[in-house]
Structure 1
């Protein structure tokens, strides 16, 4: 029985999911982009779990890498590509879950409020809910991500009287999730971040958006530090930095630029979710930081082509 077929008191009952060769092939290709990565520095290799380090250093085949990373236990049968979504009940995370399910992925939705998740997320046999709080440490997250093929992090702090909330969620929380992935052998990580996180280096210290966002506990600084940790981790990452987020349907086509390029503009959360999901299927998205907004006059280009045009970090 696949892991999606199991259920507990904290999950939706599910059933076995038929194999989807196209997703397996595309994800294997995307995850396997790591084989084009130069050998890791020995210090990074030593910091990785042994199985993950072997995948990087010996450049195993893409399909073998995905199977090894996604197997929840020796001899377990893999039936579909499974993605863990952190922040699954948020306004962006919810859309990521919906788009993954629409494309036939299995989804493990991490949430701090199971009741809220049951009421806001789709009722789908490919969806499993788990309790997961990124602020509680990496060890508490390992079992939540064990056996998945990839992780999408769409978390964000909720405004409160706690001045350290942005750091607890957007910095330490993301770091905890990355470390949980390393311990569980998950080798693909998508982060939804923000433009202007590196505003100081871009000469945007006086940009009103940079000032306002950092008034809330230095939110952008916290996100930037989390990004730096991901880039040092050895995990195959894609960092997506959207402009100002709107809850409205898209009003333009996606514009994608390299890191530290965009300092204004907005984009629909629907399009952000689309980019995050497509990154899982595009080998061209590996080891890249991209910034996205939408413009009515922008050409409508396939996301794979847009990712390919961005230089790898």
Structure 2
């Protein structure tokens, strides 16, 4: 089984990623948490944890890890320390320990942060982290969803390297499914794609990424 480190495991989307991984026979999730008291919630589910704080040294967290899903976010409270530099630290640690693939949860609009009125700083932090990963030499997939919702997952999405209509939402549960499917070596390797709620089954959709416009 491949050991999958989930950064941001205590967040709403990250928690759904953990659940997806637990239901997958090929993956063993490992949740990175900041505080010792957060470990018990995962360990009660049979999920291993590792202590790590994105604002501190996290070199150790990727040791023995096969692949990484980065789903952390500071909700605007620490964009530089967490969303930008924190992501970069995990990329560096992944390189050091020869992680096989890095799946990054980004955001629609991260490629053009200057076009956003309210989210410019957030999208710029995501852009910087995405570029750093893209230039790292690691195998990666960068997933850019629209607005995350708590709606019931449909298992279906719209996907493209650049969606014409970027306004829309997508359930967090579907984003979690896409992130886990993107762990596969053959799925969107060294690719960036955008997703919204749609009509194509996730399993089929992510396999088409190299050919979508």
What is the TM-score with the length of structure 2 in the denominator?
0.90
For each residue in 1:59-81, what CA deviation from the matched residue of structure 2 results, as whole angstroms up to 9, or x when unmatched? xxxxxxxxxxxxxxxxxxxxx21
Residues 73-128 of structure 1, C-alpha deviations (whole Å, 9 max, x = no match): xxxxxxx2110000100011101011001113211110112323423x47333x21
Change in CA separation of 1:87 and 1:200 when aligned onto 2, cut-off 3 Å: closer
Query: What is the root-mean-square deviation in Å for CA atoms of aligned residues?
Result: 2.2
Cα displacement (A) at 1:279: 0.8
Return the alpha-carbon distance in structure 1 between the equivalents of residues 127 and 76 of structure 2: 19
What pairs up with 1:84-99 in 2 under 5 angstroms? 84-99=5-20
How far apart are 1:283 and its partner, in Å?
0.4
Equivalent in the alignment of 2:99: 186
Determine which structure has more spread, i.e. the larger CA radius of gyration. 1
Matches within 5 A, 1:244-283: 244-250=147-153, 253-259=156-162, 261-281=164-184, 283=186
Give aligned pairs, total.
212
For structure 1, the residue ranges without an aligned partner over 5 or more in a row are 1-79
Secondary structure of the structure 1 residue equivalent to 2:201: coil
Partner of residue 175, structure 1: 88
- Identify, as 1 or 2, the structure richer in helix: 1
| Contact 1:135–1:168 (Cα < 8 Å) also in 2 | yes
Corresponding residue SS for 1:135: coil
Compute the displacement of 1:277 (Å).
Answer: 0.3
CA deviations 1:3-61 (Å, max 9, x no partner) are: xxxxxxxxxxxxxxxxxxxxxxxxxxxxxxxxxxxxxxxxxxxxxxxxxxxxxxxxxxx
CA contact (8 A) 2:31 2:48 kept: yes
**Residue 133 of structure 1: how far off its partner (Å):** 1.1
Residue 36 of structure 2: aligned partner: 114
Q: How far does the alpha carbon of each residue in 1:212-235 deviate from its partner, in whole angstroms, 9 at most, with x for none? A: 222xxx010011011011110010
Aligned pairs (5 A) from 1:143-222: 143-160=60-77, 165-200=78-113, 205=115, 210-214=116-120, 218-222=121-125
SS of 1:240's equivalent in the other structure is: strand
For the Cα contact (< 8 Å) 1:83–1:107, is it kept in 2?
yes
Which structure's residues are more often strand, by fraction? 2
Match of 1:229 in 2: 132
Secondary structure of the 1:156 match is: coil
